[in-house]
Amino acid sequence: MKSYLTYFVLLLLCSYVSSFAQDNIARRSYTTHSLEKGKITIDGSFDDDAWNNVEWGTNFTQRDPIDGAPPSQQTAFKLMYDEKYLYIAIKAYDSSPDSIVKRMSRRDGFEGDFVEVNIDSYHDLTNAFSFTVSASGVIGDEAISQDGNDWDSNWDAIWWTKTSVDAEGWNAEIQIPLSQLRFANKEHLTWGLQVTRRLFRKNERSYWQYIPKDASGWVHHFGELVGLNGIKPQKQLEVAPYVLGRNDRGPKEEGNPYQTGSEYSINAGVDGKIGITSDITFDFTINPDFGQVEADPSQLNLSTFEIYLQERRPFFIEGRNTLSFDATKSRSGGSFSRDNLIYTRRIGKKPSYSPSIDEGQYIDEPKVVPILGAYKLTGKNKNGFAFGIMQNFTAKTEAEISTKGETSKETVEPFTSYLVARATQDINQGNSVIGMAFTSTNRNIESESLNFLHTNAYSGGVDILHQWKDRTYYLQGNFMASYVEGDPTAITETQESGRHFFQRPDANYVSVDTTATSLLGTGGYLKFGRSGGSPIRYEVGGTWRSPKFEINDVGFMNSADIIAQWSRIDYRTLQPVGVFRSINADLREYLYYDYGGRVTYFGIHGGFDLQFQNFWTLSGGGAFQIHRLSNFKLRGGPAFLDPDREGFRWNIESDSRKKLYFNFGNRNRIAHQNSGKQIDAWVGLTYRPINALEISISPFFAYNSDDVQYVTTEQNGRGDNYILGRIEQHTTGFTLRGNLILRPNLSLQYYAQPFASRGDYYDFKRVSNTPKAKNYHDRFHQFSTDEIEYNDASEEYTVIDEKGNYSFEKPDFDVTDFNSNFVLRWEYKPGCTFFAVWSQSRGDVVEPFREFSFSEIVNNIFDTAVNDVFILKATYRFRK
């Protein structure tokens, strides 16, 4: 460990005295004028006299594929403004107008030829707003943050555009309300500006402000827009009420008052946005509809670690860059890379408690916890201070139980308040940033059955970022602390949970305290790297989570008790080389410890990505996992040393510009000692018969064989018996998507994913007293046929060996699942939408698989219960 710390310090010191040349990018400037007289009609023709008052911005430079070369087709733009709007005209010259690709897509689809305008209206050299329009008239908009390292396409502004094609190429005319931008209240303004064009048939990109491929960052290199005089920030006021009708249909159960086969409901609520000042925006929602249009993908989890799910709900998505605090920012990935103090999927989730019922009773359990209301307060001033505060209130939620016609209620989730806050301060024009975050989860627990939940949970952190040499080098890190409190039941459960396992018999630095009413833990990271100025980039860093660190009340963390070090080096070409348009390669190294000082993982990973001149792509990589000591495998038992493992992956993708394109690939992991293998294979096929229609299907298959898969822990008078078995698991399914874009604002979408998985266990074994033995077979005792027998009637295995007698259930499983959605989306005017949704799900196998075959999977899926949901939703946005 000391050698790695020494290496890190030396590398950091060397960076300060290095003499690499700094990028000298000539910054361009465009002068605009106010639209004092006349008007501009957004029709894509540029024939209004007002456009004659400004000059064309020209002389674009190619960046891809040939960095710094002249573009094959020229582009020009004009920009004007008045007291309410920004007007932009873009002329995309094309010597072959018939070859312009006018693909249709939903908003933010970014298909075909397009032009894009990036505006840093804060002029903080870090954040910007992006507006894109394709030749077909489809729009896209994104909120850019972290100097271009994060592009959030879930940000939706209200703006207008029209496109047209003529003998010289194609035109885009754009009108953006100033209310959709954020800028300082000053008489004379300078904004950052970038204009981009993509020529789809050549996959070529050219830019008004040239930024080399090896430049560090993006926004801070923008050109400048000058001549903005006398405009005032617009105080935004938007109110968007919605009304929703819903019909849930499912199987009818005789005698069950809660499963009648059909249930109708109607709901209404309102979302709002108020510009309190030019720098501060207040978002609120009352009785929000936080339903998802698309279901989460089916996954089967055999580990102790929670699956991370993407946030899809608009209220939480918008502005998430402001309200996010990564526990570890690592370009190398790693098991810790998803950890965040703020994980909004906790809010409005499935209830935490499920009451048990007796025979003859029926229960109506809520699927999600209702969110009563929420608000967000966000802003950034001219001095570079940005902040965000979000608070959500979820209702006390009850399940209703029917007993012979009499009903009673039992609380399954208490009234809860979730508060998250984030603030950052830019220093030296954004070259340095300091920040802090705070979260609070407070529950009003009135029922003893909910004492396993924390009463209060707090977390917070401070973070720093320092960049130098035109942001070529960076030093970044944070420090975090967490504090949870509650009934001893809750704190004991936290200590024994899959994130901590304080009960591990070989972890002498932690122990379960059944009287504790609180836990205090810390975490953080520090890294150094080079992000530009060369084809070679690198990063080295370290992170930690103390054993008592706990953030999962409103954050996300898979495991505490970790000290990890990583390093990464990347290489990418800046120009085409021979048969390649581009070459990218990386090499990564990871070293993990626990707080007992034991090495728990060491691995070397690498990858490459090659794009050929014919636009086909070959990517791949491999890994050597040399030491795999798991503190979590035995669910609270001693650490177990898994065999070393190697793996490799590859993927081939054809030219995605074509009407028909495909990809296929494979990933393999092979463990030593013949102890297991994992094989994944996939195929993707996408067909676009016309510009308005796209159909894709992606079958996948996975095989998992593991000689030491955890099964159960059984206790008898002689102690704990940790049972492992060899699993043979087969998983298959496919994802089907169809998109029909009738108009840029009217679309039909279909999504479906059937999923099936079967797991068979055999060769059962008991972990020995030496689970970390050098010899693999000394880590367990495999049961002979005389020591274990199976009872068909009870579906149990009984063990009789030197450790005593005990039984455990047959662990085999058969799972099928099917989720589908059909959605009509109509944005009948900017910001106002109508949805019609049909969602269907099937699950819970009626009969186990006789054999894992296509016909058997189909039969099982269509023999299971069907749940249909029909939704009609309309929103209308009032603006001022």
- Residues 802-826 have a mean pLDDT of 89
- Structure confidence at residue 51 as a pLDDT band (50, 70, 90): very high
Q: What is the pLDDT of residue 298?
A: 60
Question: Under a CB-based contact definition with an 8 Å cutoff, are residues 844 and 813 in contact?
Answer: no
Residue 764 included in any domain: no
Distance, in Å, from the CA atom of 622 to the CA atom of 588, rounded to the nearest integer, reads: 10
The Cβ of residue 114 has, within 10 Å, a number of other Cβ atoms equal to 25
Question: Under a CB-based contact definition with an 8 Å cutoff, are residues 594 and 563 in contact?
Answer: yes
| Strand-strand pairing, 85-93 and 61-64 | unpaired
The whole-model pTM stands at 0.87
Q: What is the pLDDT of residue 2?
A: 44
Residues in contact with 74: Cβ distance below 8 Å, sequence separation at least 6, in sequence order: 58, 60, 93
Cis ω before 65 (30° cut-off from 0): yes
Distance, in Å, from the CA atom of 867 to the CA atom of 261, rounded to the nearest integer, reads: 9
Phi/psi for 179 (5° steps) reads: -65, -20
Q: Which residue has the higher pLDDT, 547 or 843?
A: 547
CB neighbour burial string for 758-767, b if at least 16 within 10 angstroms, e if fewer:
bbbbeebbbb
User: What proportion of the chain, given as a percentage, has pLDDT over 70?
Assistant: 94
Phi/psi for 493 (5° steps) reads: -65, -35
Q: pLDDT tens digits for 459-477?
A: 999 999 999 999 999 999 9
CB neighbour burial string for 316-335, b if at least 16 within 10 angstroms, e if fewer:
bbbbbbbbbbbbbbbbbebe
Q: What is the pLDDT of residue 290?
A: 56
Name which of 870, 860, 760, 869 is nearest 817 in CA terms. Answer: 860
Scan for tokens 């930690």, then name that residue. 544
Tokens of 114: 């397009």
Bridge partners (DSSP) of residue 694 are 739
Tokens of 738: 């169809």
Residue 664 included in any domain: no
Name which of 128, 179, 135, 175 is nearest 152 in CA terms. Answer: 128
DSSP-assigned letter for residue 130:
E
Residue 655 included in any domain: no
Phi/psi for 422 (5° steps) reads: -145, 140
Residue 862 included in any domain: no
Residue 52 included in any domain: yes
Residue 53 included in any domain: yes
Helix (H, G, I), strand (E, B) or coil at 220: helix
Distance, in Å, from the CA atom of 265 to the CA atom of 289, rounded to the nearest integer, reads: 13
Q: What is the pLDDT of residue 301?
A: 65
Name which of 678, 676, 674, 694 is nearest 686 in CA terms. Answer: 694
Question: Under a CB-based contact definition with an 8 Å cutoff, are residues 495 and 452 in contact?
Answer: no
Reply yes or no on whether the pLDDT at 11 is more than 70.
Answer: no
Bridge partners (DSSP) of residue 130 are 118, 142
CATH code assigned at 33: 2.60.40.1190
Residues in contact with 484: Cβ distance below 8 Å, sequence separation at least 6, in sequence order: 454, 456, 457, 458, 490, 491, 494, 518, 519, 550, 553
- Residues 275-289 have a mean pLDDT of 81
Q: What is the pLDDT of residue 7?
A: 40
Distance, in Å, from the CA atom of 357 to the CA atom of 412, rounded to the nearest integer, reads: 14
Reply yes or no on whether the pLDDT at 773 is more than 80.
Answer: yes
Q: Where are the beta strands (DSSP E) in 153-187?
A: 160-166, 169-177
Tokens of 873: 């939703």
Name which of 844, 845, 837, 843 is nearest 869 in CA terms. Answer: 837
Distance, in Å, from the CA atom of 544 to the CA atom of 560, rounded to the nearest integer, reads: 8
Q: pLDDT tens digits for 405-429?
A: 889 999 999 999 999 999 999 998 8
Reply yes or no on whether the pLDDT at 14 is more than 50.
Answer: no
Q: What is the pLDDT of residue 489?
A: 97
Residues in contact with 23: Cβ distance below 8 Å, sequence separation at least 6, in sequence order: 212, 214, 215, 216, 470, 472, 532, 533
Residue 115 included in any domain: yes
* Residues spanned by the domain of 159: 22-229
Residues in contact with 254: Cβ distance below 8 Å, sequence separation at least 6, in sequence order: none
Question: Under a CB-based contact definition with an 8 Å cutoff, are residues 720 and 827 in contact?
Answer: no
Distance, in Å, from the CA atom of 378 to the CA atom of 17, rounded to the nearest integer, reads: 40
- Structure confidence at residue 742 as a pLDDT band (50, 70, 90): very high
Name which of 608, 605, 598 is nearest 562 in CA terms. Answer: 598
Question: Under a CB-based contact definition with an 8 Å cutoff, are residues 871 and 836 in contact?
Answer: yes
| Strand-strand pairing, 85-93 and 169-177 | antiparallel
Scan for tokens 């009217």, then name that residue. 746
Question: Under a CB-based contact definition with an 8 Å cutoff, are residues 75 and 115 in contact?
Answer: yes
Reply yes or no on whether the pLDDT at 17 is more than 60.
Answer: no
Give the number of domains in the chain: 1
Name which of 644, 732, 739, 725 is nearest 690 in CA terms. Answer: 739
- Structure confidence at residue 291 as a pLDDT band (50, 70, 90): low
What is the pLDDT of the chain when averaged over all its residues? 90
Scan for tokens 């006390």, then name that residue. 396
| Strand-strand pairing, 223-229 and 29-31 | parallel
Question: Under a CB-based contact definition with an 8 Å cutoff, are residues 876 and 852 in contact?
Answer: no
Q: What is the pLDDT of residue 844?
A: 62
Residue 103 included in any domain: yes
Reply yes or no on whether the pLDDT at 188 is more than 90.
Answer: yes
Residues in contact with 326: Cβ distance below 8 Å, sequence separation at least 6, in sequence order: 339, 340
Helix (H, G, I), strand (E, B) or coil at 50: helix
